[in-house]
Structure formats: structure tokens, C-alpha cells
Amino acid sequence: MKVMTVLGSPKKDGNTAGALAMFEQLMGDGHEVDRVNIVDLEIAGCQGCYACQANPDEPSCVQNDDANDVYRRMLEVDAVVYASPLYMWGFPSGIHAFMERHLSLVTGYMTPDYKSLLEGKRAAMLLTCGGPVEGNTDAIQMVFDSFAAYGKANLVGKYIVPGCTTPDEIEGKAGEIVKKMAADLTG
């Protein structure tokens, strides 16, 4: 299986990166991983021009940044893991912009011609947060459910690591959660 892992934290050595690295290590055996670090890329938010809607067959955003290239790579994988810290009960701005730009992968939303280039791809959210799951992650979970449905993706699960403090404690906190994510994604 080929998996794209999207690191949405501004930190490449933080809690989310630690949890994602553990997942990637598990996948190392027999699977291919294509890592995308949002912080290294230039990806602006959607301008809302809808020019992409004229081309249902390929990623075709008119903005000349890194998004189309990542989306072309995304079309080659079987599964995508969106890994992010929780920022103000939602996604941080960098990965949020990346998610907005998924508009160019979906055409005719809510019409009979509704098409998604991500249809049937497995998708998972890996989230780290300082607080608890309950009463803290409801909004982002709802957003991710809707986001996956919008892309006609096959939502495998949302894997949340609560109570994250410093990255040196992430292994103990995230170990079982990322193991489950790897099993669910590859099963």
C-alpha cells in the first residue's frame, strides 16, 4: 500500500511529528510512504475563484504554488493521513489552507455531476492536543467527517492523542493509537 502522510504542524519535531513518525515506522515494513511537510511548502488559501471547477480531471488550481504538485502525488496513493495538532479547536492555518485547496479535486459538489478525484481513497486524521478528547475535539472531528465525505473518501478513522505535553512523552501516549491506525488503514 502507498500512503501519503501530511504533517500539518508548524513544528517538524513536535508531538504530531513524533506520533506520525511512529506510524511511518510501522508502515515501513512492506508499504510506501510519501511524506508532505506543510511547513516546508508554499500553499496559500483558496481564493474562491472556482476556476478549478472547469477541469474535473486533474488538480488545476490557478494559483502557482506547491498545491497542485502535492495533489498530483496524492492521486497516486491508496491512503492519506492528515496529521495535525489541535489549534483553537480546529486545524492550524497551514493545513487548513491545504484542505481548502481540495476544492480543485472536487467538481460539481451538490449537483448530479458531483465528482471527486479522491473517491474511494482511504483517509484518516491523526490529531494531537493538550486537552482531552471530550468537549475539546468535537468541532474538528465534525469538520474532518464532512471533509472526508465531501471528497468521497473512505474515512477509516480519527485517531486522537489527548493530553500531549512535551514530545519526549509522545511515544507512551501515542503508541497504541498509531498501531491501531496502521492496522485499520492496512486491514
Ligand X SMILES: Cc1cc2nc3c(=O)[nH]c(=O)nc-3n(C[C@H](O)[C@H](O)[C@H](O)COP(=O)(O)O)c2cc1C
Which residues here bind ligand X, judged by CB under 6 A?
Answer: 9, 11, 14-17, 85-89, 128-131, 136, 164
CB nearer to ligand X: pick between 15 and 104? 15
CB nearer to ligand X: pick between 73 and 173? 173
Give the 3-state secondary structure of the chain: CEEEEEECCCCCCCHHHHHHHHHHHHHCCCCEEEEEEHHHCCCCCCCCCCHHHHCCCCCCCCCCCCHHHHHHHHCCCCEEEEEEECECCECCHHHHHHHHHHHHHEECCCCCCCEECCCCCEEEEEEECCCCCCCCCHHHHHHHHHHHHHCCCEEEEEEEECCCCCHHHHHHHHHHHHHHHHHHHHC
CB nearer to ligand X: pick between 28 and 131? 131
Per the CB < 8 A criterion, the answer to whether 162 and 129 are in contact is yes
Shortest distance in whole angstroms from residue 9 CB to ligand X: 3
Shortest distance in whole angstroms from residue 106 CB to ligand X: 28
Shortest distance in whole angstroms from residue 62 CB to ligand X: 31
Shortest distance in whole angstroms from residue 162 CB to ligand X: 7
CB nearer to ligand X: pick between 2 and 12? 12
C-alpha to C-alpha distance for 58 and 104, rounded to whole angstroms: 8
Site of grid cell 448530479:
112
CB nearer to ligand X: pick between 20 and 43? 20
Residue nearest to ligand X (CB): 14
Shortest distance in whole angstroms from residue 165 CB to ligand X: 7
